[in-house]
Structure 1
């Protein structure tokens, strides 16, 4: 599994919007890796922000 897939899976399992720190804690990935993947996923619309500083997978 890629880092992106691991992050998305953790976000889906949580069932609520998460910040990067919480995602790093849940996945065991380094915070820098999570921040980098978040930036890419924000750009391509994979994740959306329903609340300031928290993200969830986009509903497609």
Structure 2
């Protein structure tokens, strides 16, 4: 599974918005990589930030 897919899976499995560190821990990916993936996914419109430094799947 690609890292982007892992991040999306972690976010979709969560019932609340997560911080990058929590996503990194659950996905088993480095936090810096998660931050880059989050930027990419936000640009693509797949995730949103309901509050500062928290991320969730865009519904």
| Superposition TM-score, scaled by structure 2 size | 0.92
Q: Deviations over 1:21-52 (max 9, x none)?
A: 11001111011110110010111111001111
Counterpart-to-counterpart distance in 2, 1:53 and 1:32: 14
TM-score, structure 1 as length reference? 0.90
1:2-21 to structure 2, matched below 5 A, reads 2-21=2-21
In the alignment, what sits opposite 1:56?
56
Q: Which runs of 5+ in 1 are unaligned?
A: none
Greater strand fraction, Structure 1 or Structure 2: 1
SS in structure 2 of the partner of residue 25 of structure 1: helix
Runs of 4+ aligned structure 1 residues displaced above 4 Å come to none
Aligned to 2:37: 37
RMSD (Å) for aligned C-alpha atoms? 0.8
